[in-house]
């Protein structure tokens, strides 16, 4: 089972009133979520599916996608201010150390944020990064900045979408839910579309829901989960600890030394050219 040591560093510190803070990062994070929670709605997500899930925005290997993140800094992340490429290697190495025999898990740690290559096509960060949540039903109070960022969302007072279950049914399963659009869902769909991908279902599930913090950390939306979701919840929670607690701006991995190992995993589980 996935486990990670506790950290003395405080992570995911979201300042309620970032205007009172001198931190540029805190203000940047709030502004990203403000835009996300204004525009992420059913209509927007459906349009993104139509745009991106034709997989006609380029072709490249998974490792090339990782390298493309060498200048991408996640504007929703209050914990780090370095390119996202390093975070993938830090997560992977944490998992590799704890579970040396679960090589598919090391690869999931490496690639879990690769969907952020959406930024290469000029997508705004609020449509790429940050915590995810279902659209088409009531917005949970477990969502970051819930009280101060949703007032202009077109679904907030919708006759159906503002109700607890919205357009869903009790225990329908998360796979039936339309999640806010971002790198999680995009990479999951890209890998599902790639015929040569042999990552186990558990790995794909981690990729799809690792940013769904209102669920796996906040404990909400259980009423939409089916048995599969509830069974895999602990897996997601344990992965999240590596995703979170391996972040360190001051201890960046030597990628040149790690490259050959991870290239071998990509060749094993996600070989060839991938359609994006």
Half-sphere exposure of 268 (CA within 13 A, CB side): 14
**pLDDT at residue 23, rounded to an integer:** 72
**pLDDT at residue 236, rounded to an integer:** 96
**pLDDT at residue 119, rounded to an integer:** 94
Element (H, E) at 34: helix 24-39
pTM here is: 0.91
**pLDDT at residue 26, rounded to an integer:** 84
Sequential pLDDT tens for the chain (276 residues): 344 444 445 555 666 665 655 578 788 999 999 999 999 999 999 999 999 999 999 999 999 999 999 989 888 877 667 788 899 999 999 999 999 999 999 999 999 999 999 999 999 999 999 999 999 999 999 999 999 999 999 999 999 999 999 999 999 999 999 999 999 999 999 999 999 999 999 999 999 999 999 999 999 999 999 999 999 999 999 999 998 766 666 678 899 999 999 999 999 999 999 999
| Annotated binding residue 210 | yes
CB burial class (10 A; 0-12, 13-18, 19+) of residue 6? exposed
**pLDDT at residue 35, rounded to an integer:** 98
How would you classify residue 99: left for phi > 0, otherwise alpha for psi between -120 and 50, otherwise beta?
A: beta
| Annotated binding residue 37 | no
Cβ-contact 158, 26 below 8 angstroms: no
Half-sphere exposure of 111 (CA within 13 A, CB side): 30
Element (H, E) at 177: none
**pLDDT at residue 243, rounded to an integer:** 83
Strand pairing class (274-275; 59-60): antiparallel
| Annotated binding residue 146 | no
Which tokens in the block code for residue 270? 């996600």
* CATH T-level fold of 54-133+169-275: Hypothetical protein af1432 (1.10.3210)
| Annotated binding residue 103 | no
| Annotated binding residue 87 | yes
As a whole number of angstroms, the distance between CA 111 and CA 266 comes to: 10
Q: What are the extents of the domains in the chain?
A: 54-133+169-275
**pLDDT at residue 84, rounded to an integer:** 84
Q: Write down the residue that tokens 């390119």 correspond to.
A: 83
Residue 202's φ and ψ, nearest 5 degrees, are: -60, -40
| Annotated binding residue 101 | no
CA 132 and chain centroid, separation: 7
**pLDDT at residue 1, rounded to an integer:** 38
As a whole number of angstroms, the distance between CA 117 and CA 125 comes to: 11
Residue 220's φ and ψ, nearest 5 degrees, are: -100, 175
């Amino acid at each position: 089972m996935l486990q990670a040591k506790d950290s003395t560093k405080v992570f995911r510190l979201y300042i309620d009133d970032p205007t009172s803070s001198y931190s540029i990062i805190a203000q940047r994070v709030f502004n990203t979520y403000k835009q996300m929670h204004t525009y992420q709605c059913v209509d927007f997500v459906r349009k993104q599916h139509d745009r991106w899930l034709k997989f006609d925005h380029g072709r490249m290997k998974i490792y090339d996608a990782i390298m493309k993140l060498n200048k991408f800094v996640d504007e929703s992340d209050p914990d780090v201010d370095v390119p996202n490429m390093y975070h993938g290697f830090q997560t992977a190495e944490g998992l590799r150390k704890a579970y040396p025999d679960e090589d598919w898990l090391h690869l999931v740690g490496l690639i879990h944020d690769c969907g952020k290559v959406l930024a290469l096509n000029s997508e705004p960060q609020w449509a790429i990064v940050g915590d995810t949540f279902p659209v088409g039903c009531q917005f949970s109070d477990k969502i970051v900045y819930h009280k101060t960022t949703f007032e202009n969302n077109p679904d907030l007072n919708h006759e159906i979408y503002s109700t607890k279950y919205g357009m869903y049914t009790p225990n329908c399963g998360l796979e039936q839910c339309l999640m806010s659009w971002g790198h999680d869902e995009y990479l999951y769909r890209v890998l599902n579309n790639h015929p040569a991908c042999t990552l186990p279902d558990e790995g794909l599930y981690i990729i799809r829901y690792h940013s769904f913090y209102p669920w796996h950390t906040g404990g909400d939306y259980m009423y939409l989960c089916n048995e599969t979701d509830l069974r895999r919840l602990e897996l997601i929670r344990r992965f999240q600890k590596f995703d979170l607690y391996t972040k360190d701006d001051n201890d960046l991995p030597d990628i040149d030394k790690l490259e050959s190992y991870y290239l071998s995993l990509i060749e094993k589980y996600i070989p060839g050219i991938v359609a994006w």
